[in-house]
Amino acid sequence: MDSIQHTAAVVAWCGFGLGIVFGAVGNKTSFCTLGAVSDLVNMGDWGRMRMWLLAIAVAIIGAQALQHFGMVDLSRSIYTSPNFTWLSFIVGGFLFGVGMTLGSGCGSKTLIRIGAGNLKSVVVYVFLAISAYMTLRGLFGQFRVSVLQPATINLEAYGIKGQDLASMLAVTGVDMLTLRILSAAFVSCALLIVVFKNNEFRHDINNIMGGLVVGLVVVAGWYVTTQFGYRENPDTLEMTFFGTNTRAAESFSFVAPLAYTLELLMLWTDKSLSITFGIMASLGVIIGSFAYAVASRTFRWEGFTQVDDLGLHMMGGVLMGFGGVTALGCTIGQGITGLSTLALGSVVTFFAIVAGSVTTMKYQYWKIMQE
């Protein structure tokens, strides 16, 4: 038992350390997926979108390299399951995109802003965490399980072992090793071309650093939860992932971990609960952002000035909590971590999130023009 607790603790504390890096760099570089969409839609500026795409490319290269050398088995994650829950990805992703626009940022940006003194993001955090928990195990979960989840395509029925790109292309008869290398190389190279073809981006150290560090932190998360957390369970004698809430290989995601943080705080004396990678990574982001804000003298308290703004942020948190759990992740959880596995569901969720955000921005602009 002591060995298990030690293993879980190592995984959790590594998550905390990586979270600090994520938070500090995210604050310094203004890494924000909502900002990326907003800049592109409202100003035609691709800078932060290219930073996001760079993070995805780096995560793909790193995660696939770890898998190639046997350090990580991405098939043991929640993203590559052969059950393709297409409706959950579309609805969950779209609602998350709406929510992050109403709440002024996705889950990771909410944590970064909390660290920088934004009390509005504290409200988003609370409502996101409650909504996510209700979607995991409460009232919202009933709708998710009964209505959305049954809309599933079982890929195994078509001889496909998983929804990652290599597994789906395996029907061509080409061996999996070759397919993994080619698919990862093709997708990552395409993204890197889009990212670095722009001369302005090539000279923007801030955006390059943000994309590189966030991508590498996601890769490190995969390594930590697998290399440090995958051990034999002395009770069952089976290999098990310790230190993760899903009992699977994990990396960064910022929806369900906030729900598990809330659960842990409310049921602290429940010995069946433990501090995990996701919980500590989320805390690390806040601490890292706070440290940078203090060091750079940008920390300042910020709150609501209008009731309408409060209502929108509350609704944004609720939609992000429901949407993120339903779609199995957020702009980081699916938009980078999931995409690093080259899973079809992650691709669908990515575009659904962007669509939800763009639709909300267009509606808000139309409403302003009407007024």
pLDDT in tens, 8-18: 999 999 999 99
Q: Label the pairing between strands 153-154 and 239-241.
A: unpaired
Q: Quick check: 224 pLDDT over 80?
A: yes
Q: Which residue has 């995109």 as its token pair?
A: 97
Please report, in angstroms and rounded to a whole number, the separation of the first and last CA atoms in the chain. 63
Q: Quick check: 1 pLDDT over 70?
A: no
Tokens of 299: 């920390």
pLDDT value of position 238: 86
Q: What is the pLDDT of residues 40-90, one digit of tens each?
A: 999 999 999 999 999 999 999 999 999 999 999 999 999 999 999 999 999
Average pLDDT, the chain: 96
How far apart CA 121 and CA 304 sit, in angstroms, is 10
Q: Quick check: 357 pLDDT over 90?
A: yes
pLDDT value of position 296: 97
Run of H or E residues at 154: strand 153-154
Question: What is the number of structural domains in the chain?
Answer: 1
Q: Determine the average pLDDT of the residues in 314-318.
A: 98
Q: Determine the average pLDDT of the residues in 270-275.
A: 90
152's CB contacts (< 8 A; 6+ apart) are: 83, 84, 85, 86
pLDDT value of position 6: 87
| DSSP class of 118 | B
Query: Would you give the distance in Å from CA 213 to the centre of its chain?
Result: 15
pLDDT tier, 175 (very low <50, low <70, confident <90, very high otherwise): very high
How far apart CA 253 and CA 117 sit, in angstroms, is 22
Pick from 135-149, 151-165, 227-241: least confident: 227-241
Q: Determine the average pLDDT of the residues in 288-301.
A: 98
How far apart CA 359 and CA 155 sit, in angstroms, is 31
Q: Is 164 left (phi over 0), alpha (psi -120 to 50) or beta?
A: beta
pLDDT value of position 271: 87
Q: Quick check: 267 pLDDT over 70?
A: yes
Q: Determine the average pLDDT of the residues in 148-174.
A: 95
pLDDT value of position 234: 79
CA angle centred on 142, ends 140 and 148, rounded to 5°: 90
Q: Determine the average pLDDT of the residues in 191-211.
A: 96
Q: Give the closest residue to 127 by CA, choosing from 320, 339, 329.
A: 320
pLDDT tier, 235 (very low <50, low <70, confident <90, very high otherwise): confident
pLDDT value of position 2: 66
Write out the residue range of the structural domain in which residue 223 sits: 2-370
128 and 320 Cβ atoms separated by less than 8 Å: yes
63 and 248 Cβ atoms separated by less than 8 Å: no
pLDDT tier, 3 (very low <50, low <70, confident <90, very high otherwise): confident
pLDDT value of position 302: 95
Tokens of 329: 């992740």
Tokens of 26: 């995210």
Q: Is 84 left (phi over 0), alpha (psi -120 to 50) or beta?
A: beta
Q: Determine the average pLDDT of the residues in 281-289.
A: 98
pLDDT value of position 4: 79
pTM: 0.96
Q: Determine the average pLDDT of the residues in 214-224.
A: 98
